[in-house]
Amino acid sequence: MKYIDEFNDPGLARRLLDEIRATVTRPWALMEVCGGQTHSIIRHGIDQLLPEEVELIHGPGCPVCVTPLEVIDKALEIAARPGVIFCSFGDMLRVPGTDRDLFRVKGEGGDVRVVYSPLDALQLARRHPDRQVVFFAIGFETTAPANAMAVHQARRLGLDNFTLLVSHVRVPPAVEAIMASPACRVQGFLAAGHVCSVMGTAEYPELAERHRVPIVVTGFEPLDILEGIRRTVHQLERGEHRVENAYPRAVRESGNPAALRMLEEVFEVTDRAWRGIGPIPASGWRLADAYRAYDAEHRFDVTGIRTEEPAVCRAGDVLQGLIKPTECAAFGTACTPRTPLGATMVSSEGACAAYYLYRRMTDAPPAAAAPAAPARGSRIPREEMNPVG
């Protein structure tokens, strides 16, 4: 399968691992920002194949997980109202609010529907002019352009029964917040490739220079991740702190110009609270004034909601990379995919869900030895490292 099989080659993986082993001389802590990368790392056991000097820290790159509890409760309030069709991607339905989730609302009679695109919700609004259709617009920069296009189309079509409940977040301010924390021990970042395919890399050089950390844009297949780690370790060992693009088949420095134009028209930057982390300045988007009529919070006036996280849940520490999921006392006992205490256990990109799904119930390395590697110091030819450019 083109662009997939080429990046799952065990032989090339062994050679990349060998080069990382040959390069590293001291401990380094790297953070993969994206939850999709976390799942790939845990699924393939990449963290357990790396030399012990290289530690991977899981970052806050799960958009479902960082959606604030207050916004979840607002979604539940809106979805329960008569005359509303509430649309969402499927991974939001099990995310716990203060006392229930969207599945519970649906079971109690709310019209909650799973859609595969915000444009599906837009079509529902066209077919049901007597109903208010709300789409739960969450996510990082990756999903924001499609949501912007949906509300842009709604205004062009003159639909007054379509709104977005917006909880979009932006990655660079989160990286800034992580690096500024006194508890931070991250020394290099694997940046989210899909985010950079939309936004480009222009926001990262200043971060890399100010905090003196390498930032390597990385994909999601095993060889993508290993190549990102290899480049990051090389920079760290040489005392460098540059932005590198290790995902050139999807990411350009300028990003996606059409998507960027749509985002600039429909959204404006705002402060945003992240679940488990707290407020981060300029880390989100909201609808611009010209599109405020399509803001579900404004239309439904959902205010006065008070929230409280379960005291035993340490999802916030997981999202900040302060602990691994297995270090939470509730993991795998009180908190499972059937009885989740936090979004990190139910999201398809959550770190706790990855550990549970792939039976990583402890952080101990596997008993079996890693695959034999080629002779120390051998290198993968550049054309093999990026076989499709």
d(C-alpha 118, C-alpha 88), whole Å: 8
Could you tell me the two tokens for 128? Answer: 């049901």
- Provide the mean pLDDT of the chain: 89
Strands 162-169 and 215-218: unpaired
pLDDT at 378: 37
pLDDT digits (tens, 9 = 90+) for 305-335: 777 777 888 988 898 888 999 999 999 999 9
pLDDT digits (tens, 9 = 90+) for 138-150: 999 999 999 999 9
d(C-alpha 206, C-alpha 98), whole Å: 38
pLDDT digits (tens, 9 = 90+) for 176-221: 999 998 989 999 999 999 999 999 999 999 999 999 999 999 999 9
| Amino acid at site 218 | T
pLDDT at 5: 67
Mean pLDDT computed over 152-170:
96
Beta bridge partners of 264: none
Give the CA distances from residue 64 to residues 9, 11, 155, 345, in Å, rounded to whole numbers and listed in that order.
31, 35, 27, 10
d(C-alpha 91, C-alpha 227), whole Å: 30
Q: How confident is the model at residue 364 (pLDDT cuts 50, 70, 90)?
A: low
d(C-alpha 180, C-alpha 194), whole Å: 24
Strands 54-61 and 215-218: unpaired
Given a cut of 90, whether residue 86 has pLDDT beyond it is yes
Q: pLDDT: is 111 or 3 the higher one?
A: 111
Q: Of the candidates 70, 115, 117, 120, which has an alpha carbon nearest to the alpha carbon of residue 95?
A: 70
Beta bridge partners of 243: 215
Question: How many other C-beta atoms lie within 10 A of the C-beta of residue 256?
Answer: 18
Given a cut of 80, whether residue 367 has pLDDT beyond it is no
d(C-alpha 285, C-alpha 142), whole Å: 13
pLDDT at 349: 87
Give pTM, 2 decimals.
Answer: 0.87
- Decide if 264 contacts 145 (C-beta within 8 A): no
Beta bridge partners of 284: 169, 270
Q: Of the candidates 213, 169, 178, 176, which has an alpha carbon nearest to the alpha carbon of residue 322?
A: 178
